[in-house]
Amino acid sequence: MSEKLCVLGLGLMGSRVAKRLAAKRHHVIAWNRSSGPRTKEIASVARLASSPNEAVREASVVLLLLHDAKAVDDVLFCRGVVDSINPGALIVDMGTNTPETAHDVARLLPKSVRFADAPVSGGTKGAESGGLSIFLGAQKEDVALASEALGDLGTVTHMGTVGMGQAAKLANQIIVACAIAGLAEGFAFAGELGVNADTLRRAMAGGLADSQVLKTIGKRIVDGDFSPSGRAATHLKDLNCAFTQLNGAGALKATAAAHHYLQDIVRNFGDLDHAAMFLSARKTLGAKAGEKLSGASLVSDNVTSDEVMRL
């Protein structure tokens, strides 16, 4: 792609998106609200701007990888970035927010600036490998440019007009949360009865319980690896977006249970992966913290609960 791409936000996902795009020979200009190790890493493969205004001036596509709607508002509007964006440029919000947030941003932008929402699923590994599932909400005339910019990151599916990408992603997050919660309860239950975790995982492969969640989250449970890739705090935020959309959680019973587990992780276990729903489920079953599940370590040496969730 000959156009310059701008990446605003270099957290767990943003840093990997910037690296992936640079590796695919895109001209990447990046900026982050705070400095840190990931920001310094990006400097070796992309141009780092001193301000978001500088970052967007030359870009034809601006990718937002920010934590929430508040961060989007801060970067685009409070910092005056919209005044520095080129006429005709396309802003793509790759974070997960509500459809209303997408509509509000599109409405507040100058008429000369285009907007699309393209939240993703697949985590940091998907961003690194180009294996993300990308839910694109965009006007028909913007689909080609958005798809060209995002194509090296994964599979782009046009869900409909602006806001539809967010709607699809929230549905995805509901499904994934419920699947992980069920997996966590199943493994915790089996562990209480003395079933070996790895044996159980292998036994379910190929059956109706087999899934990408079993392969990835099940392996994390077996390995005791709850270091953040799909952060529990971020997934909790996404479910809160879904509940906001419905004016409450009452209609989504299974999702409310998953929300409870994620909330427990954030409050009592620290900055861990959503796979740590297993720890919460196991605690609920009355197991003592730190015990092993039939040979599977519950606390990984890789867990860094003091890592700050800042972009």
97 in a domain, yes or no?
yes
Structure tokens of 278?
């297993």
**Crossing angle of helices 164-192 and 99-108, rounded to 10°:** 150
Q: Are residues 106 and 199 in the same domain?
A: no
Q: Are residues 127 and 12 in the same domain?
A: yes
Q: Are residues 252 and 267 in the same domain?
A: yes
pLDDT in tens, 27-57: 999 999 888 777 778 988 999 999 999 999 9
Percentage of residues of the chain with pLDDT beyond 90? 81
Q: Are residues 100 and 204 in the same domain?
A: no
So what's the pLDDT on residue 249? Answer: 63
175 in a domain, yes or no?
yes
What is the extent of the structural domain holding 249?
Answer: 167-284
Count of domains observed in the chain: 2
**CATH number, domain with residue 12:** 3.40.50.720
The answer for residues whose C-beta is within 8 angstroms of residue 291's C-beta and 6 or more apart is 298
Q: Are residues 151 and 183 in the same domain?
A: no
| pLDDT of 311 over the 50 cut | no
pLDDT in tens, 83-138: 999 999 999 999 999 999 999 999 999 999 999 999 999 989 999 999 999 999 99
| pLDDT of 307 over the 60 cut | no
The beta strand positions in 84-222, using DSSP E, are 90-93, 114-117, 120-121, 132-137, 154-160
Report the Cα 260 to chain-centroid distance in Å.
19
- Which residues are paired to 156 by β-bridges? 134
Q: Are residues 179 and 118 in the same domain?
A: no
pLDDT in tens, 124-173: 999 999 999 999 999 999 999 999 999 999 999 999 999 999 999 999 99
Q: Are residues 144 and 183 in the same domain?
A: no
Of 277, 282, 300, 275, the C-alpha closest to 223 is 300
Distance CA(32)–CA(40), nearest Å, equals 10
